[in-house]
Structure 1
């Protein structure tokens, strides 16, 4: 079939060129380039069907599959760049086949300028996607280790078909590290365990106080042999103590001789110790630098928090976070969660929980995408973890489940426990009950129904239950 040679107007040239951006081949078919137009249209349809098939087969797991492998990320980056260049060339060629040279001079200038602008605009989303992927590659490569993990004796190995090794929950120790350039190791300022149900994403955030005394270690470990009656050292010269739970990491790092000369055992020892305390198997840890966390909050644009009362901070009480509901930047959010002035460790733990809850609620996908480069830059300075990169394949979809799942919390603080004389069995019993209750449709504190035959006060269970919603108790002036 002969190609059409009739002239088209300025509007038609621009209209068909613009249509080709969304329907490749449209301008070619209009201009009589039948074979080329059908080929472009067929390739476009095949690409859309391929993307749809990948989504239907893999769903959100596809994101985890890609990020788990540096090779796959590089492949996607290359494909994105090629697609961007191809779309740029498509706009230019679609414009040319519409024979703009047959237009009057003013029409040629106008259509040429606008078509060139179209080509540049078409490149923009591909450029952003490439930047996003490059930032992802840099972030994942710097935070997660490439190698797999050692399988301890008697444990079932993780496989692609069974990444959780047959266990119904994943337990990740979340540590807030009070890093200091003058301190050779890490002082763990806050210690939490996120226990996630792999089927539903329902999560229990369990918090342990930093000042827990007489910490017990798993039997037959070097620390248990050194401290058979619990972690206890002579008082510091100033009367303070360096044998509380927040000192375990630092102590283990400082005494490699206990571990046959192996260095940097602090994270492993603390994970095992907290796991033993709660009656859990800790899978991995994530150490969060507290002031790096402030940079992350700034990167997402701040968090909106209701400050219950004025929070004073600073060495000489020179800072103030005023009471009221407002969006806090990173520094103020950190002082809100960390200040001990006119407060105690347990109130501070509650405020830290409120900040975590606000982040979980407010860091929506749109915010993360639009601010991803800043978030990625802050996160590289923020997190240290032993999670192997290949585990991102199942963990990314699980994290998306958690975003929309039920999140409850348990804080082991007085009067629930005595930090100077902990009831270890009570801690394990409460932990097990909280995990069991988390698989129900509603949190324990909200779902407990009074027995009508006994007529208890409706608020009795709520007031005495150690299990709370993550943001329960937050935001009350």
Structure 2
């Protein structure tokens, strides 16, 4: 018969076996947490010194390499756009995930789970599984994201040589159209030259109307040989160069994109700029890009029709500051109903400005996979992969700066018979103003007087056109011009006075 405890004494709560079980449980959990904080340390303290040393040194080397990579990428952004480096990083993350998962399983084994009580065994399995799948899953997801970026760079950008800047600027021709996979180079719907300062990123957007005629080509180009007196093909406009070139592809020997080449030669002849690179934007892919970043905020000044009147989904984007999804943003930029081409050009510039200013690096990082998937279907370009980092740097510098715009449209430019010397002067003046310098005036010419502000008329000189005194003549009766229809959409101005977004030193202020 066991001894009876004396009166008033407490019954012991835990036996020696219970305390040993609790110690083993704490040890098992500690080994797993050590593996989380310092991979290999659990093996070192448990007697598997060789495995522990290999794991620990591998971890320290990878940690040092990761920190060095982050510092290098901060100062040299090109690193994260090198496909070779991305492939190495992808493999490294995958191997690290597998190795770390093995160390977690080994730490669980070293904790001797079979010696634990049932509830402790279940807890250890749960903790180990959570840590193992969380760490390995995060690393494998990182490897997947790196792979997505690598595939995006390979499928979107070229592998040619980098172009030099022209007078300190990169001039990139942006073309928008309905081209799809395998159909790049069809008739562009919009054409804009982004002239970017190679140092500051200060950007001037120069838009060309698709209906321009009778324009010259760059000297010495294939198109200049075919049309020495300018593009006077009957019934064809600037946006028809691509289809003309595809019909005469034999003239562009060795060219992968004769339509794009012909368009560039026309744009260079019109603007007087040397085009560094080109990018063709598939507008349907652009819709997916807007959705990928969560929409874009636009100032809608006039009801914009979405779709065609006979469609069931037809509706209007109502005036006001609206956050639009990809579908409505695309229609905001392209709607023609109750509008004109020059209003569309102004609205497209407002969309460009909004995207540049509103898509932050944090948004891009959070939605990177969606953006990459949309981008690979959205853009075809000849920008080399090695130059992507440079343009990302310039885009970051341009963010927050004022964007200047110039559109070669009426009333300034007659699109049917443009004054090319005037166009060249306007382009040079817009770039010079953006750079903070006075435009150069060619020798032998007189600098033009400043243009009157929009909505004003220059005062008539005293006397007649020949300087004679005509004070006796009765004054002409004042006339009130008819107010033009409001088709501004996203920009101040009208067809008769000109849309402010088409010619402005601060695009964001007039959109």
Normalising by structure 2, what TM-score?
0.74
Is residue 306–residue 328 contact of structure 2 (8 Å, CA) maintained in 1?
no
Bigger mean CA offset, 419-428 vs 392-401: 392-401
Q: Which of structures 1 and 2 has the bigger CA Rg?
A: 2
Alignment match of 2:410 (pick from 394, 410, 414): 414
Aligned partner of 1:21 in structure 2 is: 36
- Counterpart among 119, 128, 144 of residue 115 in structure 1: 128
CA distance in 1, matches of 2:502, 2:378: 34
Query: Does the Cα contact within 8 Å between 1:195 and 1:203 map onto a contact in 2?
Result: yes
- 1:201-239 deviation line (CA, Å, top 9, x unaligned): 2222221222222221123333223323321122xxxxx
Match status 1:130 vs 2:167: no
In structure 2, distance between residues paired with 1:184 and 1:65: 29
TM-score, length-normalised on structure 1?
0.79
Task: Give distance in 2, aligned partners of 1:220 and 1:42.
Answer: 62
Tell me the residue number matched to 2:5: none
How do 1:13-412 and structure 2 match up within 5 A? 13-14=28-29, 17-28=32-43, 40-59=55-74, 61-62=76-77, 64-69=78-83, 71-146=84-159, 148-149=160-161, 158=162, 164=164, 168-179=168-179, 186-234=186-234, 241-242=235-236, 244-259=237-252, 264-316=257-309, 318-403=314-399, 405-412=401-408
Partner of 1:423: 419
- Number of the residue aligned with 2:445: none
Structure 1: tracts of 5 or more residues without a match: 150-157, 235-240, 442-455
Cα distance, 1:347 vs structure 2: 1.1
Q: Which moved more, 1:360-369 or 1:210-219?
A: 360-369
SS across alignment from 2:275: coil
Please give the secondary structure, in 1, of the residue aligned with 2:205: strand
Alpha carbons 1:201, 1:406 under 8 Å: kept: no
Number of residue pairs aligned between Structure 1 and Structure 2 = 431
Residues 58 and 330 (structure 1 numbering): CA distance in 2 closer, same or farther, change over 3 Å?
Answer: closer
Q: CA deviation digits over 1:317-368, x for unaligned, max 9?
A: 6442222333222221111110111111111111111112222233223333
Gaps of 5+ in 2: 1-19, 438-451, 457-499
The 3 A distance-change label for structure 1 pair 434 and 119 is: same
- Residues 81 and 266 of structure 1, relative CA distance in 2, 3 Å threshold: same
Q: Give 1:309 deviation, angstroms.
A: 1.8
CA contact (8 A) 1:172 1:195 kept: yes
* CA drift at 1:404: 5.5
1:260/1:34 CA distance change after superposition, 3 Å: closer
User: Equivalents in 2 of 1:387, 1:289: separation in Å?
Assistant: 16
Sort the Cα spacing of 1:321 and 1:83 in 2 relative to 1 into closer, same or farther, 3 A.
same
* CA apart distance, 1:314: 3.5
The separation in 1 between residues aligned to 2:154 and 2:290, in whole angstroms, is: 22
SS in structure 1 of the partner of residue 289 of structure 2: helix
Q: Give, in whole Å, the separation in 2 of the partners of 1:341 and 1:83.
A: 57
- Residue 381 of structure 1: SS of its match in structure 2? helix
Contact 2:405 2:502 in 1 (8 A): no
The answer as to whether partners of 1:277 and 1:424 remain within 8 angstroms in 2 is: yes
Query: Separation in 2 of the partners of 1:118 and 1:373?
Result: 25
**Please, what is the CA RMSD of the aligned residues?**
3.5
